[in-house]
A and B are shown apart, each in its own frame.
Chain A
């Protein structure tokens, strides 16, 4: 992917750029808003990472300018503020996702992958599959190797979330936001508890593990 990163702090900028390059992406890193806006308007990017507070032209202004000129590239906004209102402000200005500093690289990487590969909304399958697991979205029945698996509604939602994003890492916070609509960081291992219950039903009785743990990042169902 071709990724534009606008971040004024050199440590964070280098860290993000180095990490993304290590994953095989092409990264342009700019440390001020003026050059950043110019680059964003002229270049063609799959996804952009924008710090909300950068010198010269701030991130929100860059975002509004991009959206006003109908630039469709997905934008992830980085911010020092973590309030709900700040998040809503950012999304209203046209951001596609929002990440509060400080963040772990795994979180950023997983979110960028999700942004760049958003499925077209019209493409609505009725059955989701991974290896021998089948989830029927109409009858809400789940089977693995032909055996029915009885899931609680929220376990179903969690599995559906992972299946729809097959092959992509889902971090704890992405799962909290996507499955439970929770936009803060619980000080309790809620995701781990739900995941262990889901695994007991989906993975434990079977030989092949479907839900992988990605160390330091999150969870994934392999493609």
Chain B
């Protein structure tokens, strides 16, 4: 079915059909016109022969002339029978009924033509019958069949063959353009249709697509470079602050300086974490990482993450449980998916401490339920929209960009993040594509 969506194929079929229809109609019209002309000529010949004999006044001369005509005539072309005053001159034995007569209608004594046009004329004291052979008519038919067979059929075959070649070629190019565009939209920045670009409209399109892809790759590259530069320019001073703080902590300090110093260290760590998350979200939103995707078993990964965070949850007075219905292989980045699950767990630990946090994998849906206050129904959409715009929970201090990073990682994996009600508590689901 999909083959018939191919534009070149459809165009070829339409062209061949139009060509066939027009040639057939033309031939048909020519045939009809020639057929009519031939018919008229045959009728004329019959009428002329009759008129010629009728015009002779004398009986003897009439018979004599009819005899000459009969003798001279090729019986395929002309049959004549004149009965006059009891005498008969003929090159045919029996009478023929008027009209078009074929061998099927009348037992022609010696059928030499396929059919004849028969005309009667009543004369005084006699009757004249003239039959003109219609072989030329059937020859015309044969000629036209021959034209059809020797001209139209080969032309049809040739155009079909050329059509198939053209369709193959253009389909290959269209397919190359389509798959390249798809790869580009999947984040594969080095995908190209590739040279040579033929001097056709499709060639122009593929050249334009390749140019666009190059521009996009360059832009993304520049963006990465800018990101790297900013990271370097900002992190170096942060590093210096961290160095100074560490040096201070190692020196002799009055006790009252200890607490502000510890706070400064915590703040610095927070700045670093936020900065790191922002950097990573920016990279993820640029589609970076999809080329490194492998098969990851989400079920096993969940169990690992629960094993890692279980003791922390218990130490803070909560409980972390996991139920995996069946393994779920997904196409993804193991480290990023670990990060996604870790951030969901940490989010629950932060907002719902001392409750049971239940993690489950049912079908393609990863769900994290906590026993905390949850998010009122009316605000869930709002929260998700804010995540999409990187404004994640900036109003709640200390929570950083955890959920925004979850959203960015889910988007990279084409998974859908949703918020719901765990009755009580927050339900976060991530649905992976099938």
A-B contact count (CB 8 A): 106
For A88, the chain B residues whose CB sits under 8 A away are 292
What distance in Å separates the Cβ of B243 from its nearest Cβ neighbour in chain A?
Answer: 4
Given contacts A15-B247, A102-B235, contact A180 B311 (CB under 8 A): no
In Å, the complex CA distance between A101 and B243 comes to 11
8 Å CB interface, A122-149 against B: none
8 Å CB interface, A167-223 against B: 180-190, 193-194, 196-197, 216
Interface status of B84 (Cβ within 8 A of chain A):
no
Of listed A53, A154, A184, A196, residue having the most chain B CB within 10 A: A184
In Å, the complex CA distance between A216 and B261 comes to 14
Interface status of A83 (Cβ within 8 A of chain B):
yes
Query: Which residue of chain A has its CB nearest to the CB of B314?
Result: A193
Cross-chain contact A189 with B315 (CB below 8 angstroms): yes
Interface status of B312 (Cβ within 8 A of chain A):
yes
Cross-chain contact A105 with B246 (CB below 8 angstroms): yes
Cross-chain contact B311 with A80 (CB below 8 angstroms): no
Of listed A100, A102, A181, A188, residue having the most chain B CB within 10 A: A102
For B308, the chain A residues whose CB sits under 8 A away are 154, 180, 182, 190, 194
B342's partner among A12, A101, A186 (CB-CB below 8 A) is: A186
Q: Is the interface of A mostly helix, strand, loop or mixed?
A: loop
In Å, the complex CA distance between A67 and B419 comes to 49
What distance in Å separates the Cβ of B397 from its nearest Cβ neighbour in chain A?
Answer: 13
What distance in Å separates the Cβ of B412 from its nearest Cβ neighbour in chain A?
Answer: 11
Number of interface residues, chain B, beta carbon within 8 A? 48
For A186, the chain B residues whose CB sits under 8 A away are 342, 346
For A23, the chain B residues whose CB sits under 8 A away are none
Cross-chain contact B242 with A104 (CB below 8 angstroms): yes
A101's partner among B239, B280, B333, B339 (CB-CB below 8 A) is: B239
Interface status of A82 (Cβ within 8 A of chain B):
yes
| Chain A 75-92 near chain B by CB (<8 Å), digits 1 or 0 | 000001111110010000
B349's partner among A11, A82, A83, A188 (CB-CB below 8 A) is: A188
For A216, the chain B residues whose CB sits under 8 A away are 246, 249
Cross-chain contact A180 with B304 (CB below 8 angstroms): yes
Cross-chain contact B292 with A85 (CB below 8 angstroms): yes
In Å, the complex CA distance between A53 and B228 comes to 9
Interface status of B335 (Cβ within 8 A of chain A):
yes
Interface status of A150 (Cβ within 8 A of chain B):
no
Interface status of A35 (Cβ within 8 A of chain B):
no
Interface status of A9 (Cβ within 8 A of chain B):
yes
Cross-chain contact A11 with B243 (CB below 8 angstroms): yes
Quick check: which of B68-76, B271-279, B381-389 contacts chain A, the rest being far away? Answer: B271-279
Cross-chain contact B239 with A102 (CB below 8 angstroms): yes
Query: Which residue of chain B has its CB nearest to the CB of A9?
Result: B236
Cross-chain contact A12 with B315 (CB below 8 angstroms): no
Of listed B231, B234, B400, residue having the most chain A CB within 10 A: B231
For A82, the chain B residues whose CB sits under 8 A away are 276, 279-280
8 Å CB interface, B233-268 against A: 234-236, 238-244, 246-247, 249, 268
What distance in Å separates the Cβ of B350 from its nearest Cβ neighbour in chain A?
Answer: 8
Q: A80-B231, A187-B350, A193-B311 are in contact. List 20 more A-B contacts (CB 8 A).
A: A9-B236, A11-B240, A12-B236, A15-B243, A15-B247, A81-B228, A101-B238, A102-B235, A102-B243, A104-B246, A105-B243, A180-B304, A182-B342, A185-B273, A187-B400, A188-B312, A189-B312, A190-B309, A193-B314, A194-B311
Binding site for B on A (CB under 8 A): 9, 11-12, 15, 53, 80-85, 88, 100-105, 154, 180-190, 193-194, 196-197, 216
Binding site for A on B (CB under 8 A): 227-228, 231-232, 234-236, 238-244, 246-247, 249, 268, 272-273, 276, 279-280, 283, 288-289, 292, 304, 307-309, 311-312, 314-315, 333-336, 338-339, 342, 345-346, 349-350, 400, 402
